[in-house]
């Protein structure tokens, strides 16, 4: 074997070296080529091969009023797309049917001609569009028609049809109770009942396998979802639609009349704490009014004279005063620890009883009473207020409750006169709902109920959870003290600052409050506005409903509560009294009632029939709602008011106030067996309105 020289060995090494170097350079060149020349192509290719399971939103549950009217619901809205390069969509099938499809699309959406539709679809097929947009915000009935169109009727794989469902939240009554109903939007803090019950309403998301395609769009791979979403539960509120409507309109009228900045109204059922109406309106930059903020729940402010009631309740409960005790309210001006306090009456009230001091809302009278008995132990007075749960948050389910404030001697800002300011509603902060909760307790013999907004949660027809009334404090004071407090409140309307609220049909009890509100932290030496309020209940002799009205910054030189807040209270109370037969005193005879008005008394019933009768009698009729089959009526001094009476399928209707003929017709058509007791209009029914109907079930109607 011939020996290989060193030179030859070197030459061979160089060849191998250069070969390896060449391969390395080639690899680097290829990497650079892929990275910078073909990079975008391969990145797009990789993205197009990406498949993931994406969430499919469940249909959000509905929110209902107390008569099952829908306050909020989710309306399905569809996005329609087309896979113009679907595997099963042949050129023959496309070309044979594209003209017909274009005509159908043009007729359905009425936004472009058949020629334009055809040009758009043909161009999309030539470009290989896999996710071509046909239309956004397609309605349900349009989507159903669209599925039967030429090409689309072949399904996704042969026809390329892709339908994506989205859910849009709608409030059928728009502004009505808008802030209380609230919203739950992505990236925004939830508000109102939508936020409070978001877990129950939201349901459970489903899953759908989707592929990412060019343009960053996600296209579903299959026609069906891999995991179907579970719809959310429905919540049934305590809100009464008709009363809510009256409350908002009454508040709006007064805000406009006095050019006020904002106001709120709450109506509560005394025995249960159910909120039947809650309205909040504030003025915008254009001078209109809308529900921008829930003042009834969130605005914690100095209540003024409505706080005189808890002050006197403390003194009554401690046994220091009686209603007929005498107090010297002076000549209209008095000094307390260097501070001057004045009463609104020129010349003052002189010597008056405790009851009279409260009825005329004498600041000096109340402060002198509290000073007389608590000057040496102001902490006892504050403790008495706290004993009645004042100064505590209620803890309602709706977020945003304003923090209450009642000072005590340990506070840095406490002064010698702080407890006296507190006694007349200053240096103390409470929300309208917190004040109303106290007044409701007085109407309820001292039992303080927690305000509730929801009665039950359901899954279609089955009840998931009943929400029972909840007691905050079984006895904030003795029944004797509560009775004396109610006498004080009746005196305000009968002979005090709210005599304009007296009426012949029923009695109102309550307290006016006109508070000064400083517009800056500098205090009352700066520009001052006023807050007018009225808190009370009705009927005074058998309280069924409590109510508070607060109007902030009236600007028409009229700011006293009796003329600003009082009329709103009266209008709401009139409506509730007229439409709640169960709170009326039984009439001795028809003549007793008809003597009060020139307008004929009408039972509730079918609107068409009632309109015919009133037209024949030339009686003026006003209806706050659109045409309805069944209505409730309220006889006024000049006209008859008509309101909606909803009849919901498979639920027991409310037939109180109707004639026996109409009530039997409605109930028997609903599948119930009816028994009548007595004669006249329907006074009560044995099955509560809103209960589920079981065919053949017996219902007893008691007539007045």
Grade residue 425 by pLDDT with cuts at 50, 70 and 90. very high
Question: In 636-681, where do the E strands start and end?
Answer: 640-644, 673-677
Say yes or no: 254 and 227 in one domain. Answer: no
Last residue in a domain, options 580, 598, 628: 580
Tens of pLDDT, residues 81-133 = 888 888 788 888 888 888 998 898 999 988 889 889 989 998 988 888 888 88
Separation CA 108–CA 80 (nearest Å): 13
227: buried, middle or exposed (CB in 10 Å: 19+, 13-18, 0-12)?
middle
Q: What is the DSSP letter of 183?
A: B
* pLDDT higher than 70, residue 505: yes
**Domains of the chain: total:** 4
**% the chain with pLDDT above 90:** 41
* pLDDT higher than 80, residue 80: yes
**The residue to which tokens 């079981």 are assigned:** 694
Tell which residue, 563, 565, 561, has the closest CA to residue 547: 565
Say yes or no: 395 and 446 in one domain. Answer: yes
> What residues contact residue 198 under an 8 Å CB cut-off, 6+ apart?
184, 190
Q: Rounded mean pLDDT of 5-29?
A: 75
Last residue in a domain, options 580, 611, 631: 580
pTM of the model: 0.71
Q: Rounded mean pLDDT of 362-382?
A: 95
* pLDDT higher than 80, residue 283: yes
Say yes or no: 690 and 627 in one domain. Answer: yes
Phi then psi dihedrals of residue 614, to 5 deg: -65, -35
> What residues contact residue 50 under an 8 Å CB cut-off, 6+ apart?
211, 212
> What residues contact residue 81 under an 8 Å CB cut-off, 6+ apart?
131, 132, 133, 134, 162, 163, 164, 219
Tens of pLDDT, residues 228-282 = 678 889 999 999 988 999 999 999 999 999 899 999 999 999 999 999 999 999 9
Helical spans, DSSP H, in 318-374: 354-359, 363-374
Give me the domain span that covers residue 18.
6-37
Q: Rounded mean pLDDT of 323-347?
A: 90
DSSP-based three-state secondary structure for 153: helix
Say yes or no: 117 and 171 in one domain. Answer: yes
Domain membership flag for residue 188:
no
Say yes or no: 499 and 598 in one domain. Answer: no
Q: What is the pLDDT of residue 624?
A: 56
Q: What is the pLDDT of residue 358?
A: 96
**% the chain with pLDDT above 70:** 85
Per the model's pLDDT, the better-predicted residue between 540 and 559 turns out to be: 540
Last residue in a domain, options 580, 609, 644: 580
HEC profile for 446-503?
Answer: CCEECCECEEEEEECCEEEEECCCCEEECCCCCHHHHHHHHHHHHHHHHHCCCHHHCC
Domain membership flag for residue 123:
yes
* pLDDT higher than 90, residue 614: no
Q: What is the pLDDT of residue 328?
A: 93
Tens of pLDDT, residues 286-331 = 889 998 899 999 999 999 999 999 999 999 999 999 999 999 998 9
Domain membership flag for residue 42:
no
Say yes or no: 470 and 533 in one domain. Answer: yes
Domain membership flag for residue 1:
no
């Amino acid at each position: 074997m011939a020996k290989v020289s060193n030179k030859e060995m070197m030459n061979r090494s160089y060849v191998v070296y250069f070969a390896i170097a060449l391969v390395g350079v080639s690899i680097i060149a290829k990497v650079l080529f892929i990275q910078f020349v073909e990079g975008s192509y391969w990145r797009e290719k990789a993205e197009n091969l990406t498949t993931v399971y994406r969430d499919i939103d469940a249909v959000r549950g509905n929110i209902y009023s107390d008569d099952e009217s829908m306050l909020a619901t989710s309306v399905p809205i569809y996005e329609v797309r087309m896979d113009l390069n679907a595997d099963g969509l042949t050129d023959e099938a496309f070309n044979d049917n594209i003209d017909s499809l274009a005509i159908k699309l043009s007729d359905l959406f009425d936004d472009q001609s058949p020629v334009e539709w055809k040009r758009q679809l043909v161009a999309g097929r030539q470009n290989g569009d896999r996710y071509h947009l046909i239309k956004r915000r397609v309605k349900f009935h349009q989507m159903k028609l669209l599925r039967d169109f030429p090409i689309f009727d072949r399904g996704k794989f042969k026809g390329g049809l892709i339908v994506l469902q989205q859910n849009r939240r709608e409030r059928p009554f728009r502004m009505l109770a808008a802030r209380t109903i609230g919203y739950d939007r992505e990236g925004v803090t939830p508000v109102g009942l939508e936020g409070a019950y978001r877990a129950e309403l939201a349901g459970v998301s489903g899953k759908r396998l989707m592929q990412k395609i060019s343009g960053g769009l996600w296209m579903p791979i299959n026609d069906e979802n891999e995991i179907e979403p579970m719809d959310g539960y429905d919540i049934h509120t305590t809100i009464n639609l008709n009363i809510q409507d009256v409350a908002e309109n009454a508040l709006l009228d007064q805000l406009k009349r006095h050019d006020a900045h904002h106001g709120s109204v709450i109506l509560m059922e005394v025995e249960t704490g159910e909120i039947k109406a809650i309205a909040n309106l504030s003025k915008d930059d254009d001078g209109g009014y809308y529900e921008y903020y829930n003042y009834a729940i969130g605005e914690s402010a100095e209540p003024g004279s409505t706080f005189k009631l808890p002050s006197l309740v403390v003194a009554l409960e401690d046994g220091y005063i009686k209603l007929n005790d005498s107090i010297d309210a002076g000549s209209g001006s008095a000094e307390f620890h260097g501070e001057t306090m004045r009463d609104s009456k020129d010349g003052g009230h002189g010597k008056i009883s405790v009851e009279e001091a409260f009825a005329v809302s004498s600041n000096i009278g109340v402060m002198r009473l509290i000073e007389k008995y608590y000057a040496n132990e102001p902490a006892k007075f504050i403790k008495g207020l706290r004993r009645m749960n004042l100064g505590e948050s209620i803890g309602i389910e709706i977020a945003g409750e304003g923090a209450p404030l009642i000072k005590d001697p340990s506070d840095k800002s406490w002064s010698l006169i702080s407890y006296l300011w507190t006694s007349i509603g200053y240096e103390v902060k409470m929300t309208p709902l917190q004040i109303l909760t106290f007044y409701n307790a007085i109407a309820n013999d001292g039992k303080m109920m927690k305000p509730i907004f929801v009665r039950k949660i359901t899954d279609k027809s089955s009840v998931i959870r009943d929400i029972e009334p909840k007691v905050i404090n079984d006895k904030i004071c003795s029944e004797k003290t509560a009775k004396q407090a109610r006498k004080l409140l009746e005196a305000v309307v009968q002979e005090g600052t709210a005599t304009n609220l007296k009426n012949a049909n029923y009695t109102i009890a309550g307290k006016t409050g006109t508070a000064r509100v400083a517009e800056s932290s500098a205090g009352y030496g700066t520009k001052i506005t006023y807050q007018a309020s009225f808190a009370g209940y009705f009927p005074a002799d058998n309280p069924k409903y409590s109510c508070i009205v607060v109007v902030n910054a009236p600007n028409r030189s009229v700011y006293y509560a009796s003329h600003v807040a009082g009329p709103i209270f009266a209008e709401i109370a009139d409506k509730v009294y007229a439409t709640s037969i169960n709170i009326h005193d039984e009439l001795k005879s028809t003549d007793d009632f008809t003597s009060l008005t020139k307008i004929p008394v009408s039972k509730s019933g079918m609107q068409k029939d009632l309109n015919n009768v009133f037209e024949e009698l030339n009686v003026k009729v006003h209806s706050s709602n659109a045409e309805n089959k069944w209505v409730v009526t309220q006889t006024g001094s000049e006209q008859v008011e008509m309101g909606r009476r909803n009849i919901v399928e498979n639920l027991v209707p409310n037939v109180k106030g109707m004639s026996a003929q109409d009530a039997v017709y409605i109930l028997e058509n609903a599948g119930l067996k009816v028994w009548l007791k007595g004669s006249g209009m329907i006074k009560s029914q044995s099955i509560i309105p809103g209960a589920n109907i079981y065919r053949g079930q017996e219902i007893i109607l008691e007539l007045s």
